Amino acid sequence: MPPPVSPDLENLKTDVDQVLEAVIYLYTESRRITKELARRADLTGPQLTVLKLLEQFGDLSLSGLSERIRAQNSTVTGIIDRMEREDLVVRERSKEDRRVVYIRLTAKGRDLARDIPVEPMEIFRGALDSLSTEEMRTLLRIMTKLAKRVRQIVRRDVETDPSRGEEKR
């Protein structure tokens, strides 16, 4: 028979489970909202994300866009190819560095982005507005620490088993 689990350890497990449930809920809800809004606009979820990012931040380089949506440049290139065919974006070479290609919304892309009233990031921003400055700083500190730790774990797993590397999306 295993030794009894201490009440503190039991409470910690319950707390961890509740945190994981909250993270999974936020992720799932974000994907659900994005998918529904994209469907209404006859876009894919990643296309909607690109559209709203360009609306919010203006022109972004291909690598900058890749970083923001956490995808490989080759994946983003495919998304941009399709959006370019639909006349939603154009590619433009930087005048300062010809190696850099910026992605810019067309008039059609700007109109479509404006017609999509909300996106998950805006919903989450609104929810985060309910936090005090101190709560926001604490949450940011904790989430940054978690993200750093997850990156370390993922890197370690990929280094020990390269077959677990990033899959094509």
DSSP letters along 101-128, please?
Answer: EEEEE-HHHHHHHHHS---HHHHHHHHH
Q: How confident is the model at residue 99 (pLDDT cuts 50, 70, 90)?
A: confident
13 or 30, greater pLDDT: 30
Which two three-digit tokens encode residue 27? 């992720």
Please report the pLDDT score of residue 167 as a whole number: 45
Q: How confident is the model at residue 157 (pLDDT cuts 50, 70, 90)?
A: confident
Which two three-digit tokens encode residue 133? 């400055």
Please report the pLDDT score of residue 165 as a whole number: 52
Q: How confident is the model at residue 168 (pLDDT cuts 50, 70, 90)?
A: very low
- Rounded distance between C-alpha atoms, residue 43 and residue 37, angstroms: 8
Please report the pLDDT score of residue 44 as a whole number: 92
Please report the pLDDT score of residue 133 as a whole number: 95
> ∠ CA(27), CA(33), CA(169), 5° rounding?
60
| Pick from 21-30, 74-83, 106-115, 149-158: least confident | 149-158
H helix or E strand, kind and range, residue 140: helix 133-160
Residue in 45, 34, 6, 28 with CA at minimum distance from that of residue 120: 34
Decide: 81 and 32 in contact? Cβ < 8 Å: no
Sequence-ordered list of residues with C-beta below 8 angstroms from that of 50, at least 6 positions apart, any chain: 65, 69, 76, 79, 80, 83, 89, 103
Q: How confident is the model at residue 94 (pLDDT cuts 50, 70, 90)?
A: confident
What does pTM read for this prediction?
A: 0.68
Please report the pLDDT score of residue 163 as a whole number: 60
* 56-77 residue pLDDT tens: 899 999 889 999 988 888 899 9
Q: Taking 50 as the threshold, does the pLDDT of residue 105 lie above it?
A: yes
